[in-house]
Amino acid sequence: MPTIESNNIQSTTSEQKSPQTKNSVPIFEVKNLHLHYLTRFGEKIHAVSDVSFSMDQGEVLGIAGESGCGKSTLVNGCMGLFIPPLKPTSGDVLVSGESLMNREPDEVRRNVLGRKVAMIPQGAFNSLNPTRKIKDLAADMIESHENTKDKKEIYSRLRERFRIIGMDESILNSYPIQITAGMRQRSVIAISTLLNPKMVIADEPTSALDVTTQKSVIKMIFELLDKGVFSTMIFITHELPLLRHVAGRIAVMYAGEFVELGTTDQVIFDPRHPYTKALMGSMLSAEPGQRQRKPIAIEGAPPNLAKPIEGCRFADRCPVVKPECKKNKQVMRIVADRQVRCQYAS
C-alpha cells in the first residue's frame, strides 16, 4: 500500500492497477455525461461534455486538468447533486448499477451522499461551520443519515475513528478556528468518511495546503483506504504529476472533456494527446536528470464553453494542429492501449 516517507511519496500499488472484481457490475460508472449551467441570462455553459469512465472496487482514478476545466462540476454530477444553476444535459451516473439521475436533491443527500459516495472538499474552512465544535459537526453528519440521537454513542464512535487515524481526541472539542489548516482538512476527511462510504471523491483535497501538510493529508487518505474505511477513490487535482503517487489510472480533462484516459505510467511517462504532453511539459519537475528542463507554458486560453465548439477544443492552442482539427469533432479512440481524444495521436 502507498506509504509516505520523509521526503518521498511512494508509487501506487499493484492492487490499484489490477482491480479485484473484473467481470461484475462496476462500483461506479459515468456514461456519456454532459452537464451545463443555465445562467440568469439564459446562457448555457457546457461545463462537462461526453465524459465516460467506469471504476472497479479498489481502484484509485486521478483526474487532472487546469482550473476551470470542469473538475468540480463533474464531481457534483458524480454525486447526483444538481443544485441550480447546474443541470444534467444527458448521460448517466451509476453507483453499483443504481442511477443517480432524476432524483430529488434531498433524497440524494439522505440516501447516497456520505454513505455510497462521499466527497472530500477542497477548502476545509468553507465546509466547517466556525461556530460549532468538530465533534458537533461530526455528530450532525451522523444524525442526518442515521436515526440515532444517542450523543454518547456517537462521540464514542468519533473518538474511535480519530484514534484509528492517529488524530488527537482533543481536536474533537475544538472549534475550527482553534486548529491548524492541516488539522481542519484532516478533520473534514474524518467527518466525510464517518459512514464508511463505498467510494470517495476528493476534489483537490490538498490544494490550499503547504507541501508538508499536503503530504500528511495524502498519507491520511491512504491510511483510510488501507484500513478499508473506503475502497475506491477519485482523486482530483490540477497538478498532474502529483497523481503519479496516488492513482492507478489517470484521466486528463480539458475544456469539459476527458482528452486522455490510461494507466498512470502511460499518461505521465508516455502521453499521447497533445494537451497531456503540453501539460506535462508545463510542470516543474523534481525528477533526477530533469533539473535542466525548463517548464514551457501553454500559450492561449481554453475556449468559451457558452459558445458551440465545432472541432477539437484544444485546436487553438495545439502545437501540432492541422486545418481539419478545427472542423472535426474529436471522439475518444484507442491509441497505444489507452483512450485519446485526437484523430492524429499515435
Ligand X SMILES: Nc1ncnc2c1ncn2[C@@H]1O[C@H](COP(=O)(O)OP(=O)(O)O)[C@@H](O)[C@H]1O
Residues found near ligand X in the complex (CB under 6 A): 37, 39, 45, 47, 65, 67-73, 85, 305
| Cell numbers for 82 | 444538481
Give the integer Cα–Cα distance in Å for 306 and 119.
Answer: 27
Give the integer Cα–Cα distance in Å for 251 and 253.
Answer: 6
Residue 312 interacting entry, from Mg ion, ligand X, none, C-beta within 5 to 8 Å by type: none
Name which of 154 and 240 has its Cβ closer to ligand X.
240
Region near Mg ion per CB under 5 A, out of 68-76, 90-98, 110-118, 226-234: 68-76
The CA angle 137-221-136, to the nearest 5 degrees, is 10
Give the integer Cα–Cα distance in Å for 342 and 332.
Answer: 7
Min. distance of Cβ 133 from Mg ion in angstroms? 28
Largest CA-CA distance found in the chain, in angstroms, rounded: 68
Q: Which residues of 281-315 are buried (b: 16+ CB within 10 A; e: fewer)?
A: beeeeeeeeeeeeeeeebeeebbebeeebebbbbb
Instruction: State the DSSP H helix or E strand holding residue 48, giving kind and residue range, or none if neither.
Output: strand 44-55
Residue 3 interacting entry, from ligand X, Mg ion, none, C-beta within 5 to 8 Å by type: none
Min. distance of Cβ 76 from ligand X in angstroms? 8
Region near Mg ion per CB under 5 A, out of 67-75, 166-174, 185-193, 264-272: 67-75
Q: Angle at which helices 211-226 and 181-192 pack, to 10 degrees?
A: 20
Q: Per rule CB under 5 A, is residue 72 in the interface with Mg ion? A: yes
The residue among 191, 224, 186 whose CA lies nearest residue 205 is 186
Name which of 125 and 269 has its Cβ closer to ligand X.
125
Min. distance of Cβ 69 from ligand X in angstroms? 4
Name which of 190 and 242 has its Cβ closer to ligand X.
242
Give the integer Cα–Cα distance in Å for 123 and 176.
Answer: 12
Q: What is the DSSP string of 166-214?
A: T--GGGGGS-GGGS-HHHHHHHHHHHHTTT--SEEEEESTTTTS-HHHH
Min. distance of Cβ 144 from ligand X in angstroms? 24
**Would you give the binding string for Mg ion spanning residues 27-66, x where CB under 5 A is met?**
----------------------------------------
- Per CB under 5 A, contacts with Mg ion among 129-148 are none
Residue that the C-alpha cell 450532525 belongs to: 140
Residue 85 interacting entry, from Mg ion, ligand X, none, C-beta within 5 to 8 Å by type: ligand X
Give the residue at shortest CB distance from Mg ion.
Answer: 72
Region near Mg ion per CB under 5 A, out of 33-41, 70-78, 127-135, 192-200: 70-78
For residue 263, what are the CA distances in angstroms to 75, 96, 227, 244, 339?
21, 23, 24, 10, 10
Residue 47 interacting entry, from Mg ion, ligand X, none, C-beta within 5 to 8 Å by type: ligand X
Give the integer Cα–Cα distance in Å for 256 and 61.
Answer: 17
Min. distance of Cβ 345 from ligand X in angstroms? 23
Min. distance of Cβ 324 from ligand X in angstroms? 26
Min. distance of Cβ 256 from Mg ion in angstroms? 13
Total residues contacting Mg ion by CB under 5 A comes to 2
Name which of 43 and 168 has its Cβ closer to ligand X.
43
Name which of 82 and 162 has its Cβ closer to ligand X.
82
Give the integer Cα–Cα distance in Å for 62 and 237.
Answer: 8
Min. distance of Cβ 169 from ligand X in angstroms? 34
* DSSP designation for 17: H
Binding site for Mg ion (CB under 5 A): 71-72
